[in-house]
Each structure stands twice: as structure tokens, then as C-alpha cells.
Structure 1
Amino acid sequence: MLPVLALLLVVSVATAIPHCPAKDRRNPVFFEHEVSCSRYYECANGRAYLMRCPSGLHFNKNLKTCDYPNHAGCIYINGDDNAEPFDGGDAPAAVA
């Protein structure tokens, strides 16, 4: 039973972390966040950087941009969408 639980944990964590291309492409690569409508990942140099949409906007996974919530289609219920306002000054955090 324990090996099955460990395998499920590894699979769930692996699917939550975006897989960025090793080399940057002509167009940027974006991924939705696992639990937050207002956050997303942007790939650069093979790494995923955690980003935040401006206040009041959600990440639209189809358009790969921040959008009005009624257009974005994000339905996370317990995300941290209103945790702190975006001021544009924070450096993105790299995700290993």
C-alpha cells in the first residue's frame, strides 16, 4: 500500500510542475498555475518562473494571457487569487 501512495504522490507532483523547453522558442511558453487563477508560469532558458496577473485578472489558458475572469474560464475555488495585489515590482520566482 505504501509504494502505491508514494507513486501517486510522485505522479501528482510531476504533473503540477510545468515542463519548459530547454531552448527558448520564438514565442514564449506559458502554463496555468495548479491552484490559482491569478498566477501562471512563464518559461525562460528551460526554467519555469512563477508570475502573477494584474489585480482583478485571471490567466486564460487558451489565450495564454491574463484576461477578465468571465472570459478566462478559471474555476479554482480555494486558490489564493486575492492574497495580495500586483504592483509590478516583484521579480519572478524560478521553479526548479
Structure 2
Amino acid sequence: MKKIVTAAALVLAAVAFGAPVPAQAADFKCPTPSGLFPNPENPRGFYHCSNGYAYAKECPANLHFNPTLLVCDWPEHAGAVTPEDD
């Protein structure tokens, strides 16, 4: 119940200040309550878990999620397979 009240308060505060409210990722279960986790289906995508709730996010431009550093990074540094590697 406390999570629901807290989530509702955050949504109301975000709406009141005009901030966008991120959509929760329904198909991803957080391995731990908080952290960043790669999306195995999309090298640009990752999940941001906060208090057990998962939010799908995507790196900008041509960047990929680097699961070692937990940041958006150039594909060659993020461990992406390049055409030369095939």
C-alpha cells in the first residue's frame, strides 16, 4: 500500500510540474529493486529499475547500452557486434 501511495504522489507531483511520466515496462521483472539492466532484444535499450518498478529506456542517437559501465556508449565500446566481427 505504501508503494501505491508513494507512486501516486510522484505521478501527481510530476503532472503538477509538467514533467513527463515514464511508462512502466510490463514485460520485464527487475532482478534487484534498483539498478540498470540491458535489454537483451535491443542493444540501444535498457531497463531502469526503481523500487522494484521497471522503466524501459533507450540510448540516444547511435549509442548502445554498455552493461559493464551502465551508461550509453559507442557501440564498439558497449560490446556490440560490428559487421567486421561477423
Classify the TM-score, shorter chain. 0.5 to 0.7
Normalising to structure 1: TM-score of the pair? 0.50
Specify the alignment match of 1:17 in structure 2. Answer: 28
Normalising to structure 2: TM-score of the pair? 0.56
Specify the alignment match of 2:60 in structure 1. Answer: 54
Q: In structure 2, do the counterparts of structure 1 residues 40 and 50 end up closer, same or farther at CA, with 3 Å as the change threshold?
A: same
More helix by share: 2
Gaps of 5+ in 2: 1-26, 82-86
1:6-61 CA-to-partner distances (Å, cap 9, x unmatched) read: xxxxxxxxxx8342434x5xxxx100002101110001121111001011100001
Specify the alignment match of 2:43 in structure 1. Answer: 37
Contact 1:20–1:47 at 8 Å: present in 2 too?
A: no
1:74-96 CA-to-partner distances (Å, cap 9, x unmatched) read: 34xxxxxxxxxxxxxxxxxxxxx
Identity rate, percent: 36
| Equivalent in 50, 67, 71 of residue 65 of structure 1 | 71
Q: What number of residue pairs does the alignment pair up?
A: 55
RMSD: 1.9
Contact 1:30–1:64 at 8 Å: present in 2 too?
A: yes
